[in-house]
Every structure is written in C-alpha cells, then in structure tokens.
Amino acid sequence: TGFNLASLRAIRDAAVEVGVESEALVPWERVRRAYDHYAETFFDPDGRPWYYSHTPWPIDPHAAAVAVLTHLAFADEVPEAAARAKRTLEWTIEHMWVEKGWFAFQKWRWGRIDIPYLRWCQAWMLLALAEWVAFEDKLGQGSPG
C-alpha cells in the first residue's frame, strides 16, 4: 500500500516535469484520502508499522522502510507526515535493530527472527535512513534516536 501511494506521488511529480497536468492524471484529493487511510490503518500510535491492514504480524523492516519513504513522499503537503516517518523510524530502530549490527528479519508475537537479509531488510532500511537524513538536512534539523 505504501509503495503504491509513494508511486502515485512520484507520478504526480513526474507529470509536472514533463508538462502533463498532474491533477488530471492522478487527482490529489483521491491520493490524499488513500494516504490518510494508510496512515490511520497500518500503524500503531507509537509508529509500529503493520504488515497487513487487519494484523500487524509479522513486523518487518521492509514494511517499516517503505512506510518511512511513503510518509516522506507526502511530507511537503501533509503536515503530520514527517512526524509519522520519524515515529516509525524510531520504533523500528528500537525494536528491530540487532545489537550485532543489522535489522532483524521479522518480529512475531512469539519472538524475533534476527537473520540479516541484505535485500529485504538492510537495503530498504539503509534507503529509509538515508532519505530521512536527506529530509532533515533539507530542513536543517538533527537525526532521530
């Protein structure tokens, strides 16, 4: 869901760059309603990302990273989006970081799987962290936790 929303946001941006009316291509009101639904349905108040809309399990860094990227994609138009990205990033660092130096693969009710999968966990979290740092640099602020 987050990936689709960020993609729609990117299509709007690309449309402007090539001279196409973005509102005719991807109406903002519909994208904004979809983003609001995503933000209200796929997260706990503390920022924990949900894998599915009906259950948070499993929790994984890939879903968390996509969530951070999605929130940041909407940060220019949605005032609370940056705070949502920060909460999810901080939650993920606190609960999914393995002290040996990587993000755990998944967290379930019964425990955490600490396998360091490069493609689905580490690479996506690196991208989310890099985008967060770039976002904060743009604003002139410090980084989270």
- Give φ, ψ of 107 to 5 degrees: -125, 130
Residue (of 44, 105, 37) closest to 74 by Cα position: 37
Q: How far is CA 138 from CA 10, 26, 69, 142, in A?
A: 19, 26, 15, 11
Q: Which position has the token pair 């259950």?
A: 55
* pLDDT above 80 (res 81): yes
Q: Tell me the residue type at 56.
A: P
140 pLDDT band, cuts 50/70/90, is: confident
Give residue-wise pLDDT tens across range 90-135: 999 999 999 999 999 999 999 999 999 988 899 999 999 999 999 9
What is the pTM assigned to this prediction? Answer: 0.90
